[in-house]
Each structure stands twice: as C-alpha cells, then as structure tokens.
Structure 1
Amino acid sequence: MVVLGRIAGPHGIRGQIKVIPFTEYVDGLMEYPVWCLSRDEKNWQIVRPATFFIHDNLLIVTLTEYSDRTSASELKGLLVAVPRSQLPPLSKDGEDGYYWTDLIGISVVNMQGEPLGTVAGLFETGANDVLRVRLSGSSKDELIPFVDQVIRQVDLESRQITVDWELGY
C-alpha cells in the first residue's frame, strides 16, 4: 500500500471527512475509486469515496460507507492508501523517479553530512515544488526548494535526501 493522505476529522453533519492529501494535486486522491484506511498500516479497511470538494487545500469527501458525523469522526487520524499497483507509471520515458509520498519521513542532510530533519510534506508553488522539513529536535519547519541546484541526491533505499542547504537560508 502507498499512503496518499490522512483523515483530519469530520466535516459537517452528513458524514463528510476532511482529508489531508499527500499527492501533488489536492484532488489527486479522487482518481482512485477505492481507498484503504488504517491506523497501523497493517489492518486495512476498504472504503469508496462518493463525492468531494476542495476547501482550504483539504479534500472534503463523502464515503459511501459513512453517512453521519458520529461514524465519520471515528475515522480521524486514519491513513488513506491505495495499492502501489494502482499508481500510474512514474515516467513515460522509463527514467527513475519517485512519488511525493515516497519522500515523506525521509531524513534530510546537507552536503557536510549534518542532519537537518525529516520530510514532513511537499507542496507546489507554481515556480517549483518545496520540501517542508521538520527540523531535528524541534517542532519548526524549514522550507527547501525542490530544485536541481539544491537537491543533490534522493536515495530512497537509504531513505535520505542530500541538499546543498544551510539552516536559515
């Protein structure tokens, strides 16, 4: 399974939920007719999204299996995933790549090998994508442009991104 979002909580009284997507586009999760929900990434529950709209960069979704606020509120904190086999190919030309979700939780170090933190999320600015890095030992985030001049290496196997970056740039 590939985690593509997290349920933030209920929305309204008709069983809608707020979903924080980990996809490039806010509505990217809606391309999948079946979602899998889990707290522990071991026990998965299958659900089907029925309707949605976007509000403040969140997906507001109605699941066919839930129709009231009480049952929807029990979903808060659950991860939303799809089978990796459902994802489209990374590139048309056969080059290696990665999904944003593959980068969440990876450690980030600078060129001197100093740990900066872990990837807490990514977002698009129009000009380029940006890594949101949760600083080591802190609740603060550092925003690092996801551009070739800064991102020197993405090693999914060792779960590390090397950047040409110093804190406070």
Structure 2
Amino acid sequence: MNKDQQPVVLGKIGASHGVNGWMKITTYTDSVTGIFDYSPWLLNERGQWREVKVLRWRQQGKGVIASLESVDSREQAQILTNCEIGVLQESMQNLPEGDFYWRDLIGCEVTNTNGYNMGKVDQILETGSNDVLMVKANVKDAFGKRERMIPLVMEQFIKNVDLLEKQILVDWDPDF
C-alpha cells in the first residue's frame, strides 16, 4: 500500500466471540454482510494499516462474526477490538451513473436553488426513513445557522449532485 493512499473504512472489529479467535464485526456497508464483498481487508492497528485475510464468516443474529488468518485465540481477537477495517479505493465497486458513496458527498458545497451557499456537508446520518445531510454552515451565515439538516431525498430536496465540482444543489430554505 502506498503511503499516500488512505483506505476507505467499511467497519471495525468488535468484541471477541468464543475462544477460537472469532470476533464480532461492526459494518458500515448497506447490508450487514456487504463488508465481505471486499477483499483484501486492511486493519488499522495503532495507526498502521496491515493486510489481513478473512478465513470464515457467518451471520450471527442481526450481526456478523468473522475469523481472520493468524487469530486463533480469544486473547488475540481481543487485541484487535476497535481496529478499523478498510479497503483500498481500487477495491470499491463502481456504481451506476447517478449513484454515489456517502464519502463522496463529505466536503461538497451545498447551494440552494436561489443561489444561497448553505455550507459544506460535514457528515451524513442514517435515520431509518431517509438519510440526512449534516451541512456545516459558513462562518458568517446570514441566518445565524451553525448547521443544517437536509434530507437526502433525491429529486424532492436534492436536485443535483456534481461530484466532479463537489457541488450539491438543493431545494431548501436557508432559514430552516
């Protein structure tokens, strides 16, 4: 891995599961098993990324557990608790035209249909009914806002996403 490459974080290692080195996996993918569509995994241990191989995995209740190469005991699994799981950008699946990854929206400028600059996307929240853009307002926002929550509902509120220009056009009142 090139030093300049930053892996895309798809999850993290949770608590150990059993005595044979299995561990719970917290996933940030759409489906709980989607993290296993990516290979190889990279683990972030104390700021250093290293490649690991998933030997086996299975769904366990509403979550998933996995066994990694060279992790044979509960103690070895516990050492990895809270390590981030990432993959290289090249491992990410190409999306159809008009689709995007959440990470692509972070940092985009948000402007409403009247030309008002509402700030930049700081994060995205999953609420169940629809995702929400958390837009950090500009320092001298005319409406005194610090942040705005804009539903990530295409066509209704999100009129256009231009990833090349890092611009999002919204139909949203800046005072709301």
- Please tell me the TM-score bracket, short chain as reference: 0.5 to 0.7
**CA deviation after TM superposition for structure 1 residue 159, in Å:** 4.8
Task: After TM superposition, give the deviation of residue 63 of structure 1 in Å.
Answer: 1.7
Q: TM-score, normalised by structure 2?
A: 0.63
**Larger CA deviation: 44-53 vs 15-24:** 15-24
Deviation at 1:45?
0.9
Contact 2:131–2:152 under 8 Å retained in 1: yes
Out of 112, 117, 142, which is 1:113 matched to?
117
2:85 aligned with 1:83, yes or no? no
Gaps of 5+ in 1: none
TM-superposed deviation, 1:145: 3.7
Assess, with a 3 A threshold, how the Cα gap between structure 1 residues 90 and 63 changes in structure 2: closer, same or farther: same
Secondary structure of the structure 2 residue equivalent to 1:149: coil
Give distance in 2, aligned partners of 1:22 and 1:161. 23
**Residue 166 (structure 1) shift:** 5.5
Write the letter of the residue equivalent to 2:49.
W
CA contact (8 A) 2:118 2:135 kept: no
Give 1:4 deviation, angstroms. Answer: 4.3
Alignment counterpart, residue 35 of structure 2, candidates 12, 29, 51: 29
Alignment correspondent of 2:50:
45
2:77 counterpart letter in structure 1: A
CA RMSD for the aligned pairs?
A: 3.7
TM-score, reference length from structure 1: 0.65
Measure the CA separation in 2 of the matches of 1:27 and 1:12. 17
Aligned position for 2:161: 154
Give the equivalent residue in structure 1 for 2:101. 99
Q: Which segment drifts farther, 25-34 or 141-150?
A: 141-150
Counterpart contact for 1:108–1:163, Cα < 8 Å = no
Match of 2:142 in 1: none
Paired residue secondary structure (1:146): coil
Matched residue count? 157
Runs (5+) with no aligned partner, structure 2 = 1-5, 138-147
Change (3 A) 1:89 1:115: closer
AA at the equivalent of 1:85: E
Query: What is the alpha-carbon distance in structure 2 between the residues aligned to residue 75 and residue 163 of structure 1?
Result: 42
